[in-house]
Each structure stands twice: as structure tokens, then as C-alpha cells.
Amino acid sequence: MPETLVFGKPTALTEVPTHYCPGCTHGVIHRLVAEVLDELDLTRRTVGIAPVGCSVLAYNYFATDFHEASHGRAPAVATGIKRARPDLIVFSYQGDGDLASIGLSEVLHCANRGEKVTVIFVNNAIYGMTGGQMAPTTMPGQVATTCPLGRDVEQAGYPIRIAELISTLRTPAFVARASVHSPLHAVHAKEMIRRAFRCQKEGRCFSLVEVLSTCPTNWGIPPAESLTWLEQHMLPYYPLGVFKTPEGPDRAPLPLFGGA
């Protein structure tokens, strides 16, 4: 019987081994994005934008044209590429320090202008590449190198919920949060990523998928336990689901006096 290849690497990934730490879920998320690009037949007209952070070298791993952005500016770079070449599929891949801290202005305005780009936002609740500093997404009480006694919400406030924040805007087409801490969740995450890229393929405006991710190295938790830690500590604060769809309404305030 002749051999038939039933499973392989997506063509949107290169053969370069990643530099990610053992147990880091960046690799899973890279693969999900690459599978979606292949399945939607977008790989050959895609330009990605790498952030500053652990995924700074993403251009080595995706087999598409790529830009390396300065810290937090990937959505501005994406704007420039997409406005220059509307025929391209443009996505940024950003971590939580990059997007939720230094790049908050760029992602908000990119979303609000309705740029026809897709943002993959990887939230692992910490700065990874610089060595485990507190991020805007770090959980209350979570220890980081710049909050050695744990995040003090009196000093640093509560973690930013990006999917919720972006979904308050009228313009974006699709905003969702997913996680990759279990195979089942990864399947759901892929579906969210697929819907985001489909929006762009259909010419709809801005789409963003926040993906909860682990950082065993900087959390100081072994890889398998990190998955549990994510589930126990991040999921209750960062609920999964779709926050905005192309048809979705504005967020309406609750009525002041009772309800209808």
C-alpha cells in the first residue's frame, strides 16, 4: 500500500526550530495561525508583523513575508502595509507587554480606524524576553521580577482585559478571547483565529484574537503545571468567548433605574 501523508507541517511555517522555552505555548499558537493561513489559502499573500518580545523572531518561523516592528507599533506598521497594498493579508503577532502596555495607543486606534488587518494577541501575563517583569496583564498577587511581593493592585491596578476593551469600540469586526492550555481549547482558539482571518479575507475591518498563553520559565512553574495555573488563575479573570462580531451591536450601558 502506498504511503499517504495525512498530517504535516503547515506550508506557512518554515523548517527553522523555534527558540521558545520548553512548555511555552507560542509554538502552538504559531501553528494554529499557520494552519488557518493555509486552510484559507492566504499564505502566499500574507505579510506578518513581529513584535518586540519573545516572538520577536517570528519572522524566522512563518514562511511569509514579514516586518519586524518597534516595540508596540505593529498595528501602525500593519496600517502602513495594508493601506499601501490592500490586496495583502496583514497580521500582527504581539505579546502583552508589546500590545497592552507600550502599544496600547497603536492597537486601539488601528482597531478604531477599522484597519482591515488581524491582530493575534498572546497574553501570558508577564514580560517574557526581558526576564519576567510585571505586565499590565499580570494577575493580582502574581510574582514578577518588578513586583517581587506579587502584583499589588493598590500600586499597579488590576490587569487590563484587552478583548473587552477593544470590543467597546464601534468599528472592529471581530474580537475574541481564546486559550491553548488544553487540546480542546486549542481547537476553539483555532476557530477564533479562523474567524478573524476570514473577516479580513472578506474585506471586513479589524479583527483581534486574544490567546491566553503560558510562560513556565518566568512564572517559575513547570510546563504541565503552568497549564493548570492558567486555567485556575487566568480563566476566571479572562473569560473566553466572542466579544464582538461584524453584526454585533454597540455596548449599551445598563439602565440607571431598574431595567426594561
Partner 1 sequence: MAKKLMKGAEAMGEAAIQAGCRLFFGYPITPQNEIPEYMSARLPQVGGTFVQAESEVAASNMIYGAAGAGERVLTSSSSPGISLMMEGLSYIAGSELPVVVINIMRAGPGLGGILPAQGDYFQATKGGGHGDYRCLVLAPWSVQEAADLVQDAFDLADYYRNPVLILGDGLIGQMMEPVEFKADRRPCKPLAPKTWASTGWKGDRPRAIINSLFLDPEALERHNQKLAAKYAAMERDEKRVAEVGTDGQYEVLVVAYGTVARVVYTALDDLRQAGVRAAMVRPVSLFPFPYEAVRRAAEKAKAVLVAELSTGQMIEDVRLAVEGRVPVHFIGRQGGMLLTPEDIAARVRELAAGEGSHA
Q: Return residues touching partner 1 (CB under 8 A).
A: 44-47, 49, 56-57, 59, 63-70, 73, 76-85, 88-89, 105-106, 108-109, 113
Grid coordinates representing 69 are: 516592528
Minimum Å gap between C-beta 83 and partner 1 is 5
Cβ nearer to partner 1, comparing 59 with 243: 59
**SS3 sequence of the chain:** CCCCCCCCCCCCECCCCCCCCCCCCHHHHHHHHHHHHHHCCCHHHEEEEECCCHHHHHHHCECCEEEECCCCCHHHHHHHHHHHCCCCEEEEEEEHHHHHHHCHHHHHHHHHHCCCCEEEEEECCCCCCCCCCCCCCCCECCCECCECCCECHHHHCCCCCHHHHHCCCCCCCEEEEEECCCHHHHHHHHHHHHHHHHHHHCCCCCEEEEEECCCHHHHCCCHHHHHHHHHHHHCCCCCCEEEECCCCCCCCCCCCCCCC
Cβ nearer to partner 1, comparing 80 with 140: 80
Cβ nearer to partner 1, comparing 109 with 201: 109
Minimum Å gap between C-beta 28 and partner 1 is 23
Minimum Å gap between C-beta 120 and partner 1 is 17
Amino acid at 171: T
Cβ nearer to partner 1, comparing 49 with 178: 49
Minimum Å gap between C-beta 4 and partner 1 is 24
Cβ nearer to partner 1, comparing 96 with 106: 106
Minimum Å gap between C-beta 111 and partner 1 is 11
Minimum Å gap between C-beta 9 and partner 1 is 16
Minimum Å gap between C-beta 19 and partner 1 is 10
Q: Could you tell me the sign of the dihedral formed by the alpha carbons of 27, 28, 30, 34, in that order?
A: positive
Question: Does residue 209 contact residue 172 with C-beta atoms inside 8 Å?
Answer: no
Cβ nearer to partner 1, comparing 83 with 251: 83
Cβ nearer to partner 1, comparing 78 with 230: 78
Question: Does residue 54 contact residue 95 with C-beta atoms inside 8 Å?
Answer: yes
